[in-house]
Amino acid sequence: MADDCDVLVIGAGIVGLSTAYALTRAAPGVRVVVLEKEPGPAQHQTGRNSGVIHSGLYYRPGSLKARYAVQGAAEMVEFCTENGLPHAVTGKIVVATGRDELPRLHALAQRGRENGIPVRELGPAQIREYEPHVRGLAALHVATTGVCDFRAVARRLAELAREGGAEVRYGAEVRVIARRPGDGRARTNDEADGTGEAGEAAPEEATGITPRTDTGTRPGIAVRTAAGEVVRARALVNCAGLHSDRIARLAGDRPGLRIVPFRGEYYELAPDAADLVRGLVYPVPDPAFPFLGVHLTRGIDGAVHLGPNAVPALAREGYTRTSLSPRDAAATLTYPGSWRIARRHWRYGAGELRRSLSRRAFTQAVRRLLPAVDEADLRPAQAGVRAQAVLPDGALVDDFRFASGPRTVHVLNAPSPAATASLPIGREIARRVLALL
């Protein structure tokens, strides 16, 4: 039995498609197949965010997030320009509304400079020059932040990958992964997961498929889709996003973490109030809390989005309050890390839940930055779900995390700014998987 491809990529979000594109450029002639369970690309995290090209301001110097964001922002603007995709480099301001936020604002300015980002500090009068309706004691202006249409970027990456010889198959949900036995131990960029979490790979005799092995005891990979299609490959890349931990366990590797979904809820300013915001307005983040807080974003379509509010979701694809997956809910509720997060951040979580249930409370959060807004100006907008990787001790995985098993590369955590940084991330993943061939 011949292999169907050299590299099989699971997931056609922006990271999976960027990986396929990078593979075809780095190794012309390499056979790449992308499997996506949805009918088209970018159906989940890629297509359900604010569309911001992040500058890299917030991220710890030296982290993968900082390095990839700074590099990726410049590349994303260039990619959009070269391919005629809608984008704009608008800049953003980060606004301190209370005196207790001023030291954090100054520290943020220093962090930005360490990351090589041009940052300008503003006073109240200068804030009004950029955003006449925003009020604050001080602010930072970051000129390199912008907006684009990440769905359009993903579609173009799929086209370019196909032009390079890759095949992208939609409606192909992976149900079974089989390979010849390896050590089953996933190695991460932190060296090892250390949790002892067992894999969930089905034994070969139960899968109905036999992986192709072409180099002695080095394992090949075979997957079976929900439709019964079998695809054999020399190596596999897991870019499954919200389901990345499950795919890793399905392959017999130990991710050492679990994806806990958080729904990001947005509002949109009514058309007659949209002129209140010119560009991008952010609060000063509090490092004691896991999420950034409500911010104001004028998207590439001209609409102004407010949010996101972050609340636990009872389904990994739970885009509404009533969305419920018993399997997903049970996985979250039985995971020790979930309860440790709740104990650690319950005050912050209570505030998020209150803003989720009360439009008035959400409006109050917006009014800290934009006093002129009224509750009647808010319209519900499309929600997203964040794939938050959580360790068993309740720690949130803050940086990108990759893991490698026998003939497998797993992208276990691709937090914001993953869409911004998708081009350099794709090259890094491609480098890792090509080393396995």
Domain annotation for the chain: domains and CATH numbers = 5-46+152-257+397-434 (3.50.50.60), 259-390 (3.30.9)
Distance CA 114, CA 70 (A): 11
DSSP strand pairing (408-413 vs 230-238): parallel
Burial 379-408 (b: 16+ CB within 10 A, else e): eebebbbbbbbbbbebebbbbbbbbbbbbb
Question: 367-377, pLDDT tens digit by residue?
Answer: 999 999 999 99
Instruction: Report CA-CA distances (Å) from 152 to 4, 158, 346.
Output: 29, 10, 38
pLDDT of residue 181: 52
Burial 208-245 (b: 16+ CB within 10 A, else e): ebebbbeeeeebbbbbbbeeeebbbbbbbbbbbbbbbb
pLDDT of residue 180: 55
Distance CA 257, CA 387 (A): 12
Taking 70 as the threshold, does the pLDDT of residue 219 lie above it? no
Where residue 190 falls among pLDDT bands split at 50, 70, 90?
Answer: very low
Where residue 204 falls among pLDDT bands split at 50, 70, 90?
Answer: very low
Distance CA 414, CA 99 (A): 34
Asked if 6 and 31 touch (Cβ cutoff 8 Å), the reply is: yes
Task: Tell me the average pLDDT across 166-193.
Answer: 70
Beta-carbon contacts of residue 265 (< 8 Å; ≥ 6 apart): 307, 308, 309, 310, 311, 356, 383
Task: Tell me the average pLDDT across 87-104.
Answer: 96
Taking 60 as the threshold, does the pLDDT of residue 319 lie above it? yes
pLDDT of residue 186: 45
Question: 4-54, pLDDT tens digit by residue?
Answer: 999 999 999 999 999 999 999 999 999 999 999 999 999 999 999 999 999
Tokens of 283: 């609060």
pLDDT of residue 215: 39
Identify the weakest region by mean pLDDT among 210-224, 320-334, 390-404: 210-224
Task: Tell me the average pLDDT across 111-135.
Answer: 96
Task: Tell me the average pLDDT across 259-268.
Answer: 96
Helix ranges restricted to H, 236-277: 244-250
Distance CA 102, CA 276 (A): 24
Identify the weakest region by mean pLDDT among 64-68, 211-215, 256-260: 211-215
Taking 60 as the threshold, does the pLDDT of residue 421 lie above it? yes
Asked if 168 and 20 touch (Cβ cutoff 8 Å), the reply is: yes
Indicate the helix (H) or strand (E) that contains 33.
Answer: strand 32-36
Where residue 290 falls among pLDDT bands split at 50, 70, 90?
Answer: low
Distance CA 282, CA 296 (A): 6
pLDDT of residue 405: 87
Asked if 14 and 425 touch (Cβ cutoff 8 Å), the reply is: no
Beta-carbon contacts of residue 84 (< 8 Å; ≥ 6 apart): none
Where residue 150 falls among pLDDT bands split at 50, 70, 90?
Answer: very high
Indicate the helix (H) or strand (E) that contains 174.
Answer: strand 174-179
DSSP strand pairing (138-142 vs 304-312): unpaired
Asked if 154 and 41 touch (Cβ cutoff 8 Å), the reply is: yes
Residue type, 31: R
Tokens of 270: 């009514």
Task: Tell me the average pLDDT across 376-397.
Answer: 95
Q: What is the mean pLDDT of the chain?
A: 90
Distance CA 412, CA 405 (A): 12
Taking 60 as the threshold, does the pLDDT of residue 328 lie above it? yes
Beta-carbon contacts of residue 277 (< 8 Å; ≥ 6 apart): 131, 133, 134, 269, 296, 298, 304, 370
Distance CA 146, CA 294 (A): 18
Indicate the helix (H) or strand (E) that contains 119.
Answer: strand 119-122
Taking 80 as the threshold, does the pLDDT of residue 194 lie above it? no
Question: 51-77, pLDDT tens digit by residue?
Answer: 999 999 999 999 999 999 999 999 999
pTM of the model: 0.91
Distance CA 74, CA 112 (A): 15
